Each structure stands twice: as structure tokens, then as C-alpha cells.
Structure 1
Amino acid sequence: MQYLLMIYSQEDRWNQMTDSERQQGVAAYQAYTESLKKAQALVGANRLQHTNAATTVRLVDGKPQVLDGPYSDSKEQLAGYYLIDVPNLDAAITWASRCPGAGHGVLEVRPVWTAPGEAPSVA
């Protein structure tokens, strides 16, 4: 089954880190990503640009309303994600707890919805 591991963190934290801390952070994410690949659990992953690059679109009276910035203001922002394919929620939680993002932010684990008639993925 596929799960989306969404990494929420304070996007200004990166700028407050020393070069050494940044290098350690990058190395930790590289090692984590390599572990997911080795376990054949990784489907996809990406880091997101800062929220000042976001655009929010919604329909108001049937017409698109486009706003600069994220949908909501919060202490932590969606910074990136991993899409994984594992047997069950327990396995997804185990992978989420190993993610470096869990140490400096919050990880939300959400199962990917399978449309009726679609075959669910198998890990």
C-alpha cells in the first residue's frame, strides 16, 4: 500500500543553521533516501520550494481566484514528501520515525486513496 510521508518544518530554520549543520542534514536525508531505495519502498520524493513561491487557487462563484502564498499560515510548513510503498501502516510509521524530518518537525503519514476498480499497490 502506498503512503505519503509529508514533512512539515519551519522553513526559516535552514537559514539559522551553520554550514556544518546543513551538511549533516543533507547527509542524513541522503542516507534515509538510500535506505528507502535499498528496501525498494521508495516511489518518489521531493523537497518543496518555500511558501513565498506558492500559489493558492480556489473557485469563487465558479471563477478561479488566484492568491500568492500558501493556503494557510502556520508555524510549520509542508517542506517535502516521500511517497512510499509498504505492506501496512505500521511499516509506514516505522519509516516515518526514521526520517530526519521527524527530528526537527512533524511527519504526517497518510494512505494514498485507491479508486474503486483500481488494483491497490503491493509492497
Structure 2
Amino acid sequence: MRYALVFHAPEPGGSGPQPTDEQIAEMQQLMTDYVSALQAAGVLIAAEMLHPSAATTTVTRRTGSTVIEDGPFAEAKEALAGVFVLDVAGPDAALAWAEKFPGAAYGVVEVRPVGAYVSDGTWKTA
């Protein structure tokens, strides 16, 4: 089954304490080790870490015409920071990988089953 580990974290430059260069380097190494473990287990489909939400552009047609705006949809202390897609046996395996996610030390990992995905140009249900 496919699961998305959706990572939410405090925005860089926010009002809280900021990580030191050493802490950033340590987290980068922990994330590299985590991805290596996912690859070795053969469960990693994709891993994407995002730029801060200030780099966001939103697009909507809710009013009937297209509106394009700079910035995130909503202001929040925590923002979407990344998404990892795994193919694992079930929810227990997805939770086990989420428990090992290094960013959980300072953010939140949402574990969600994938409902549908595209493979070879065709929608498939998970």
C-alpha cells in the first residue's frame, strides 16, 4: 500500500529559536541516513522537501475566474515542508517509518494512505 508521510514544520525565520549551522548539518545527515534506509528497504517511491512557504504561489478559480497570488493559502506557525511517498505492507509499517522520520523531533509527520496515483500516464487506485 502507498502512504504519504506529509511533514509540517515551523517556518524558517519565524519567531521561535532558530537552528544553528551545526544543527542544520546534523539534520541534513539524519535525513540522508533516513532516505538511505528507505531505499535499502525498497519502500521509497518519492521524497520531496519544499522551499519555505514564502516561495509559494497559489492559484484558484473559486470565483469563476483564475486568481494567482503570491504567498501561501493561510498563515500558520507550521507549514507543509515535505512529502515522502512509501510503498509498504500497511499502516503499521507506514507508522514505523514515520516514527523514524528525523524531522519529527521539531515538526509533525502526518501519515495518510494514498487513494490514487499516476503510473505510466494512467490513474491507479491504491
In which range does the TM-score fall when normalised by the shorter chain?
0.7 to 0.9
2:15 matches 1:11: no
State the AA in 2 paired with 1:99. F
Q: 1:113 maps to which residue?
A: 115
Three-state SS of the structure 1 residue aligned to 2:75 is coil
Q: Name the CA shift for 1:16/1:109 in 2 (closer, same or farther; >3 Å).
A: same
Q: 1:75 maps to which residue?
A: 77
RMSD between superposed Cα atoms in Å: 2.0
Q: Which runs of 4+ in 1 moved over 4 A?
A: none
Q: 1:84 maps to which residue?
A: 86
Of 37, 49, 52, which residue of structure 1 is paired with 2:51? 49
Three-state SS of the structure 1 residue aligned to 2:66 is strand
Three-state SS of the structure 2 residue aligned to 1:77 is strand
Three-state SS of the structure 2 residue aligned to 1:96 is helix
Contact 2:11 2:77 in 1 (8 A): no
* Shift of residue 48, structure 1, vs aligned partner: 0.3
* Shift of residue 13, structure 1, vs aligned partner: 6.1
* Shift of residue 119, structure 1, vs aligned partner: 5.9
Q: Which runs of 5+ in 2 are unaligned?
A: 118-122
Q: Which runs of 5+ in 1 are unaligned?
A: none
Give the % identical residues. Answer: 36
The 1-side partners of 2:58 and 2:21 are apart by 33
* Shift of residue 11, structure 1, vs aligned partner: 2.1
Between 65-74 and 93-102, the greater mean CA deviation after superposition: 65-74
Q: Compute the TM-score of the two structures, normalised by the length of structure 2.
A: 0.86
Q: Name the CA shift for 1:41/1:112 in 2 (closer, same or farther; >3 Å).
A: same
2:52 matches 1:62: no
The 1-side partners of 2:32 and 2:124 are apart by 33
Q: Name the CA shift for 1:27/1:13 in 2 (closer, same or farther; >3 Å).
A: farther
* Shift of residue 60, structure 1, vs aligned partner: 3.2
Q: 1:35 maps to which residue?
A: 37
